């Protein structure tokens, strides 16, 4: 199954609908979806390394737009949808401590968590709930998400052939590593909040 998904992403890299799906995943991941856009960004960029910059740009724009939706959930819908999402991730008792941290470390929190596998949706919703400055939030999100996605683009544009050979040789292993990193991101997020 992993090979089929990977092959689909490789084959779809030139198809116009793939870019829309990539944007939709990046958008949704920033506000409510648990799967990062890297699952499409990596194979699409490996298939077309010369377009890795474009794919990173699409991920950045869509992710920041999704982040604004997450911010809106925290700011406007916290009493209903926001609390439900926070409760879904088991963070109800930790939101106030995280909110207090924004008084002193808001920009640093957004930048660090936007670059790491820590679920970004937690930052977007909490930023809205904490009333963090929306324009500073957007600026920090552009820097953090763009930094993350363009770092991937640089690596894959430069070393794509070597990475692709290694990935295809041990796809299961690398997917397992990715899953572990994703789970560790959630664990770290729960510990830090």
Dump pLDDT digits (tens) for 144-179.
999 989 998 888 888 877 777 777 777 677 677 776
Query: What value does the CA radius of gyration of the chain take, rounded to a whole number of Å?
Result: 17
SS3 call for 36: coil
> What token pair was written down for 141?
């999100």
For residue 2, the model assigns a pLDDT of 61
Confidence of residue 191 (pLDDT cuts 50, 70, 90): low
C-alpha 41/C-alpha 58 separation (Å) is: 10
Token pair for 102 = 């924004």
Report the pLDDT value the prediction gives residue 54, as an integer from 0 to 100. 92
126 CB neighbour count, 10 Å cutoff: 28
CB 148 within 8 A of CB 118: no
pTM confidence score: 0.76
Q: Across the chain, what does the average pLDDT equal?
A: 80
């Amino acid at each position: 199954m992993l090979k089929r998904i990977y092959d689909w992403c490789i084959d779809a890299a030139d198809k116009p609908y793939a870019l829309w799906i990539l944007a939709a995943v990046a958008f949704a991941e920033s506000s409510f979806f648990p799967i990062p856009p890297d699952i499409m960004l990596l194979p699409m960029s490996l298939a077309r390394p010369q377009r890795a910059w474009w794919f990173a740009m699409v991920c950045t724009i869509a992710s920041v737009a999704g982040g604004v939706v997450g911010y809106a959930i925290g700011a406007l819908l916290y009493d209903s949808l926001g609390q439900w999402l926070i409760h879904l991730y088991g963070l109800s008792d930790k939101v106030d401590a995280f909110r207090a941290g924004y008084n002193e470390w808001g920009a640093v929190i957004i930048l660090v968590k936007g670059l790491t596998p820590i679920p970004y949706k937690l930052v977007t919703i909490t930023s809205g709930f904490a009333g963090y400055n929306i324009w500073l939030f957007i600026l920090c999100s552009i820097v953090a998400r763009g930094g993350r996605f363009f770092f991937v683009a640089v690596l894959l544009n430069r070393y794509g052939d070597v990475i692709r050979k290694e990935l295809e040789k041990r796809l299961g292993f690398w997917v397992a590593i990715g899953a572990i990193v994703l789970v560790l991101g959630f664990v770290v997020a729960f510990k830090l909040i």
